[in-house]
Structure 1
Amino acid sequence: MKTICFYFQVHQPFRLKRYRFFDIGNDHYYYDDYTNESITTKVAYNSYLPANKLILSLIKKHKGAFKVAYSISGLALEHFELYAPEVLESFKELAATGQVEFLAETYAHSLAALKTKSGFKQQIEKHSEKIEELFGQKPTVFRNTELIYSDEMGLTISELGFKAMLTEGAKHVLGWKSPNFMYCNSLNPKLKVLLRNYKLSDDIAFRFSNSAWSEHPLTADKYIGWINSHDQKEEVFNIFMDYETFGEHQKADTGIFDFIKSLPEVAIKNKFKFATPSEVAKSFNPISAIHVPYPISWADEERDLTAWLGNELQDEAFNKLYKLKHLVDKVDDFVLKKNWQYLQCSDHFYYMCTKFFSDGEVHAYFNPYDSPYDAFMNYMNVLSDFELQLKEATKGMDEKTLKIASLEKELEETKKQLKSIQTKIEVRNEVKPVAATKTTTSKSAATKTSAKKITKTKTTVKGTAKPKATSKSAPKTKGKK
């Protein structure tokens, strides 16, 4: 029986107001409240509320046969608490059905995984606590910002106790293999990896209303027919997309809500099953490991990080931001900590993207700036004031204290890296050897077997250095597909 796994991303950033050079040191409030409220309210009434109402009705209609999953960033949850509490209540109604799963992610929808392992873990823990507080679920499946994933990130997620992680079924990673199977992390096979079927996902998310598309109009029967035409051995079809697809990217008058309304009934008639990511992870065994030495994402045609870290503007802003972490760790100020969260949001770097020639419409979506350079200057002005605030807050600490704190942080990171290497060695030594199928009593056979084990052990120890190196030298990097 083929299984369909629906997952939707929900996120809204705290957009910055126009912050000029002369505001540095004088104005310590950075956010455009009017824009943030108006956009959140607009999307709530166009998308979130009608989509949640429809999903709830489908769950009730199909009595447990229809299920979905959401990943809602911590910043989006704060938006709902501030500007659209009715959206939060509608998500709680969905949670109460028992047919909806809420995933963990970085609280600030950040790129912390690329820079600071400790900060990455802190955000995940903060987000998981928020999800449990609001929806009564402790997440067991993780989805990183924009589906960013690498072998090293997967290992970190497994160390935090998660059972599965989502990412993109990128063609350059899969090669000839299909995304419609379960895979596992190459450094810790216990972590299962669900891969997005980007073609089937984008048929809904991006091509649905395109009248020039050869398959337009898309109907539920046609869509389920495409899935049915796949090899019967292909087990699970992961359909992942932005929740704003429903009513915002694809307006109501395109028929998107009617399409989703009819889809479950057609799928169930064709003996398809719907499952949440955690159910998929429990139901299917990995067919192999997926090797991702360099980070991938679901963004743009390249499926890499260049939507956020692909030019000098983005790199400079990103590096300057995380140079401040050792100061942030030393302050105990609610406002500074909150600003630190908001400034890490990946959208700020996304607005600086210069890849408009290939994905212009996507990168311009809800972008408050006239150009990437305006985005960069505005962000750097805000960051300069934030840095002044941090230095003022840590002024009582002398240079020696701060230097020791910085060295302690570096030592802590080194210890974690060494522990990570040791874990990889232990895991590979446990997984690599193949159990013997015969009992060999001859001395020569025993010697040969022993030699093979020694060779495998050497190969394993050699190989462990590679993931560490590639993590540090990842290529410089929203667009969507």
Structure 2
Amino acid sequence: MKTICLYFEIHQIIHLKRYRFFNIGTDHYYYDDYENERTINEVPERSYIPALKTLIDMAHEHAGYFKVALSISGVALEQLEIHAPAVIDLLHQLNETGCCEFLAEPYSHGLSSLADEDCFRADVERMRKKVTQLFGQTPQVCRNSSLIYSDEIGSVVADMGFKGMLTEGARHILGWKSPHYLYHCNMNPNLKLLLRDYKLSDDISLRFSNSEWNEYPLFADTYLGWIEALPEEEQVINIFMELCALGIYQPLSSNILDFIKALPAVAKAKGITFSTPTELCTKLHSVAPLDVPDPMSWVDEERDISCWLGNVMQREAFNKLYSVAERVRLCDDRRIKQDWDYLQASNNFRFMTTKHTALVMDRGIYDSPYDAFTNYMNILGDFIRRVNSLYPADMDNEELNALLTTIHNQDEEISALKKEIENLQVKLTKAEKCTAAEEEQPSAGTPADADAKPAKKPRKAATSRKTTKKE
């Protein structure tokens, strides 16, 4: 039986402000508040809120049948909690239906998986804990920024205890193979891989409202007919996209939400089910390992990482940013930690791309990729100065690692001593109770001795009187 794994991602770009060279050292605030507030109010109204309401209606109408998966970056979550709490409320409502699985992803929506393993682990774990705290679910499946994946990344994710990972069904990786099967990591078979069907996904997220597309207008019956016509043995159809595809990339006027809402009923009539990523990773067996020596993603035709690290400017900015990763991990400055999250976001590097693509990219305040690079490097220069003010630049990473190890060992020693003190306090309390009980027993058990003591007092008094008479 064929099953659809429907997944949406929520991420919100944090726009940087125009930052001049002469601001370095004097201005430590890097963000365009007007643009950020505008987008965080506009996108929920046009996309997140109506889309989530539709998913909630689908969950109630097809209870136990319709299922969906979601992930949200920590950066987006912070903005939504402040500016659009209605979205958080709707996410809670969707969670309460029992049809939604929440996945883990890097908190910053950054590229740490390509630069620093410790940074990547910490980033994902932060988001994992945040999801557990908010929705009561502990994510079992991971989704990297823009579905970036390689054998090494998969091995790290498997070591973190995840059952599965989402990634792209890239043609140059699969070759003759189909994305409609469950695969596993080449370096760790415990990690199952769900591969995105980019054609079926992009038919909704990119082409749905394109009147020049030869399949326009697209109806649910036609779409699910394509899935039904797939070979019988191809049972897993993974449809992954950003949630803002519903309302932003494809305007509400295109009836995109009516199309989405019609999917469960039509699928049920055709004998097609819906499954969550964890269900697939648990119930199905992998058919083969997936060999991915070089990172791939769901971006552009190449499905690689060239849109972020394809030119010298991007690599220079990327290497300079992660050169202070150890120092940032050491510091306790809350502002620096938050700036670190926002500066890691992958869109900062994508604005610097010089690639020519079929899709028109909105660079925001930047006139060109060179403008984006200059602005980012100015901000990064100030940020690194702040980090180096806490930890001198002449301290190399080996010294920092040694310091981190020392601090870690001291923390473990302090924790062990605290436990020992707690155990001793428990023993002391028990000993005091035993001593008190023993002291109470003689006074309660020998009343005769208590009567004997007053009898001695008259004799002492008599002796005292005799001595007085002699004198």
TM-score by length of 1: 0.82
- How many angstroms does 1:140 deviate by? 0.3
Alpha-carbon spacing, 1:194–1:285, altered in 2? closer, same or farther (3 Å): same
Matches within 5 A, 1:288-367: 288-355=288-355, 357-361=356-360, 363-364=361-362, 367=364
User: 3-state DSSP class of the match of 1:307?
Assistant: helix
In structure 1, the gaps of 5 or more residues are 413-481
* Counterpart contact for 2:143–2:165, Cα < 8 Å: yes
Aligned residue among 378, 382, 400 for 2:379: 382
Cα distance in 2 for residues equivalent to 1:409 and 1:175? 47
Number of equivalenced pairs? 406
Cα distance in 2 for residues equivalent to 1:52 and 1:406? 45
Aligned equivalent of 2:388? 391
Aligned equivalent of 1:371? 368
Cα distance in 1 for residues equivalent to 2:292 and 2:351? 27
Aligned equivalent of 2:15? 15
Aligned equivalent of 2:452? none
Cα distance in 2 for residues equivalent to 1:42 and 1:135? 25
Matches within 5 A, 1:81-480: 81-355=81-355, 357-361=356-360, 363-364=361-362, 367-394=364-391, 399=394, 404-406=398-400, 408=402
Cα distance in 1 for residues equivalent to 2:232 and 2:383? 56
Alpha-carbon spacing, 1:407–1:332, altered in 2? closer, same or farther (3 Å): closer
Say which is worse superposed, 11-20 or 302-311, in terms of deviation.
11-20
**Larger Rg belongs to:** 2
Cα distance in 2 for residues equivalent to 1:374 and 1:360? 20
In structure 2, the gaps of 5 or more residues are 407-471
* Counterpart contact for 1:173–1:292, Cα < 8 Å: yes
- How many angstroms does 1:373 deviate by? 1.1
Alpha-carbon spacing, 1:188–1:243, altered in 2? closer, same or farther (3 Å): same
* Counterpart contact for 1:47–1:248, Cα < 8 Å: yes
Runs of 4+ in 1 over 4 A off after TM superposition: 401-404, 409-412
- How many angstroms does 1:76 deviate by? 0.6
Cα distance in 2 for residues equivalent to 1:31 and 1:24? 14
Cα distance in 2 for residues equivalent to 1:341 and 1:104? 16
- How many angstroms does 1:316 deviate by? 0.5
User: 3-state DSSP class of the match of 1:321?
Assistant: helix
Read off the aligned partner of 2:303 and give its amino acid letter. Answer: R
Alpha-carbon spacing, 1:403–1:3, altered in 2? closer, same or farther (3 Å): closer
Cα distance in 2 for residues equivalent to 1:314 and 1:170? 23
Query: Share of identical aligned residues, percent?
Result: 49
User: 3-state DSSP class of the match of 1:34?
Assistant: helix
Cα distance in 1 for residues equivalent to 2:397 and 2:165? 37
* Counterpart contact for 1:166–1:193, Cα < 8 Å: yes
* Counterpart contact for 2:330–2:404, Cα < 8 Å: no
- How many angstroms does 1:404 deviate by? 4.8
- Residue 71, structure 1, aligned to residue 71, structure 2: yes
- How many angstroms does 1:408 deviate by? 3.4
Cα distance in 1 for residues equivalent to 2:332 and 2:228? 56
| 1:226-260 alpha-carbon deviations (Å, 9 max, x no partner) | 00110011111000011111011000111111111
Cα distance in 2 for residues equivalent to 1:372 and 1:409? 38
* Counterpart contact for 2:105–2:144, Cα < 8 Å: yes
| 1:188-210 alpha-carbon deviations (Å, 9 max, x no partner) | 11110000000100111111111
Read off the aligned partner of 2:121 and give its amino acid letter. Answer: K
Read off the aligned partner of 2:385 and give its amino acid letter. Answer: L
* Counterpart contact for 1:2–1:235, Cα < 8 Å: yes
Read off the aligned partner of 1:201 and give its amino acid letter. Answer: S
Read off the aligned partner of 1:405 and give its amino acid letter. Answer: E
Say which is worse superposed, 218-227 or 367-376, in terms of deviation.
367-376
| 1:360-417 alpha-carbon deviations (Å, 9 max, x no partner) | 41x32x633221111111110000001111122235xx95x656524638999xxxxx
User: 3-state DSSP class of the match of 2:240?
Assistant: strand
* Counterpart contact for 1:75–1:109, Cα < 8 Å: yes
Alpha-carbon spacing, 1:281–1:69, altered in 2? closer, same or farther (3 Å): same
* Counterpart contact for 1:327–1:390, Cα < 8 Å: yes
User: 3-state DSSP class of the match of 1:241?
Assistant: strand
Cα distance in 1 for residues equivalent to 2:116 and 2:334? 21
* Counterpart contact for 1:9–1:71, Cα < 8 Å: yes
| 1:255-313 alpha-carbon deviations (Å, 9 max, x no partner) | 11111111111001111110111111112111111100110000100000011100111
User: 3-state DSSP class of the match of 1:6?
Assistant: strand
| 1:329-357 alpha-carbon deviations (Å, 9 max, x no partner) | 332211111111111111100111111x2
Alpha-carbon spacing, 1:407–1:334, altered in 2? closer, same or farther (3 Å): closer
* Counterpart contact for 1:326–1:405, Cα < 8 Å: no
- How many angstroms does 1:18 deviate by? 0.8
User: 3-state DSSP class of the match of 1:295?
Assistant: coil
Alpha-carbon spacing, 1:279–1:313, altered in 2? closer, same or farther (3 Å): same
- How many angstroms does 1:40 deviate by? 1.3
Aligned equivalent of 1:30? 30
User: 3-state DSSP class of the match of 2:207?
Assistant: coil
Cα distance in 1 for residues equivalent to 2:220 and 2:365? 36
Cα distance in 2 for residues equivalent to 1:367 and 1:179? 35
Alpha-carbon spacing, 1:373–1:213, altered in 2? closer, same or farther (3 Å): same
Cα distance in 2 for residues equivalent to 1:287 and 1:382? 47
Read off the aligned partner of 2:381 and give its amino acid letter. Answer: S
Cα distance in 1 for residues equivalent to 2:403 and 2:6? 40
| 1:153-200 alpha-carbon deviations (Å, 9 max, x no partner) | 101000000000010000111111100010011111111000000010
Cα RMSD of the aligned pairs, angstroms, is 1.6
